[in-house]
Amino acid sequence: MLLDLAKEIEQQNHSFYTWLNVEKDANLKEISKVYRKLLVKYSTVDDDMFKKTSHIAYILRNPKLRALYDSILLDDYHHQQVYWKGFYYYYTRHKLACMIIIALISLTVLEYLKAWASYWTERTMMEQFIENAKIMAQRISDRHLSAKTHKSYMDFAKVIVFLWI
């Protein structure tokens, strides 16, 4: 709210102080007095001006918001070159682009996690299949000890791994 309102007021070549016609070091009583006069003036004429005046007076009467406005929006904003403006700056000016970037990053992370989950599921299934094949091969060889076959246990495991790959 503070940044949007400050941007809107600044486009009209005003600051919060010039909007209310008070000095930068005005106290709470002076701000309230001017605010009441402007409310009477704007309450019947223009609803938008009335809302802006109410928001500006609220910000200037709140010590924390006033300090924030003074430090960031007046001093730093006009006198220093901003090198990195932060996420909020880009979000307010490029909402669609920011949302697309965030969505793409989120989808990429989700696809990566999905691929790992699929990999671990397949790996677990293959390990269980190989264990079952070993057990079955052991049972078959125990039953047919006297019957010698030409295939060994290792050949059977190689075929299973080859089919899996």
pLDDT tens by residue, 105-117:
999 999 999 999 9
How crowded is the C-beta side of 110, counted as CA atoms within 13 Å? Answer: 6
pLDDT of residue 81: 45
The CATH homologous superfamily to which domain 2-83 belongs is DnaJ domain (1.10.287.110)
C-alpha radius of gyration, the chain, whole number? 36
- Looking at residue 88, its amino acid is Y
Q: Where are the alpha helices (DSSP H) in 12-152?
A: 16-20, 28-43, 47-61, 63-68, 77-79, 87-93, 95-143
| Length of the chain (residues) | 165
Closest residue by Cα to residue 102 from 94, 128, 63:
94
Structure tokens of 165? 């790959």
Q: What pLDDT is recorded for position 117?
A: 96
pLDDT at site 149: 54
Tokens of 52: 């802006």
Can you list the residues of the chain whose pLDDT is less than 50?
A: 78-83
